[in-house]
Structure formats: C-alpha cells, structure tokens
Amino acid sequence: MIRAVLFALGLAAAAVLPAQAQAPENVLVVEVEGKGSVEIELLPEVAPLHVERIKSLARDGAYDGVAFHRVIEGFMAQTGDVEFGTREAFGSGRAGTGGSELPDLPAEFSDVSFETGVLGMARSASPDSANSQFFIMFAPAPHLDGQYTVVGRVIAGQEVVDGLTRGEGQGGTVAAPDYMGRVYLKAEG
C-alpha cells in the first residue's frame, strides 16, 4: 500500500514538474518560410558525427533557402540537399541527389525508434552515404529502425512539419516546395 501511494505521488510530481530543458547548443531551429519554426533536439550521444555535420552546415548557412523536396503523406518530409535543393538549383530536377562538399559519413545506427517527429539522415543504398540531407517523420516507421541514423527529435513545431506541402506520387516529389528560410543553433541564434 505504501509503495502504491509513493508511486502515485511520484507520478503526480512528474506531471507538474517541467521537462528538463535541452542544451541550446543541441537545439536546431528550422524556420520554414511562411509556416513557422521547428525546434529539433539533436542527439550527439546517439550520432555524434551526424550531429556535428548538421551543426557545421547550419553554422555555415548551407541549409538556408533549401527546399523540402520530398514529402510523403503519412511518412516523412525530406530536405537538406544543399547542392540541388536551393531555390537557384531546384528547377534542374536534381533535388534529392546532392549533398555538401564534405565526405559522406559512416552509419551511426542506434536503438532509437523512428517515431513521429524523429529526425533521421537520408542516404543512398549504402549505409555509409549520409551527407547533408535529413528527414522528419510524420508517423512511426519501425521498418527504418536500425537502417538509418537517428540524429534528433522535434521538441516544438511538429504542427509546422505536419503543414508542409505534400508531394506527388509514390516518391513524394514536391513541385512547389516549402523552403527552410533560416536554420541555426538556438545557442547561436
């Protein structure tokens, strides 16, 4: 009986205590033009190389003005092609095939599940081919678990992600995409 009361008190305390604040140096802010902002908690303890890559590209302004080029209803929204996903290059029809000038990264697979709001790194058929592109989940996708690198999770603004323009067909290619206006680390905002 005493254990049950203590357990109930613990649950009550957890419900009223604020969530632990994320370290601002590990919060990526994505301002989506005309839609709002998304805050993503990066997980360096899960994928240190991938998190560092995203931070580096954000600091360099490489993600600013890049399209959400592939958006599949009920699945995910993909962006981050800093080579062919920019406004200037988007019309070439190659969005989703490029990356940064930096070398590809080795996989950092983990036991973190692909749930709604999880950010994963996009790659080709090779597990060690992630570079700059990433995707944000609309819904759980357990078939991706252990197959793609988890880099973070949305902590604010999932409704902005959910409001992105959807693509056409099975591949989710977006003809008139939404763009990331500014992408930065909250600590450096």
Task: Encode pLDDT of 24-43 as tens digits.
Answer: 899 999 999 999 999 999 99
pLDDT for res 29:
98
What string of DSSP letters covers 10-26?
Answer: HHHHHHHSPPPPPPGGG
DSSP state of 97: S
Over residues 43-62, the mean pLDDT reads: 98
* Residue 3 pLDDT > 90: no
Q: What tokens does 38 get? A: 């998304």
Geometric angle at alpha carbon 70, from 114 and 122, rounded to 5°: 45
Is the pLDDT at 7 greater than 60? The verdict is: no
Q: What is the CATH number of domain 23-188?
A: 2.40.100.10
- Reported confidence tier of residue 22, pLDDT bands at 50, 70, 90: confident
Q: What is the pLDDT of residue 146?
A: 96
Give me 173's structure tokens: 């290619």
- pLDDT of 94 > 90? The answer is no
Report field, pTM of the whole predicted structure over 0.95:
no
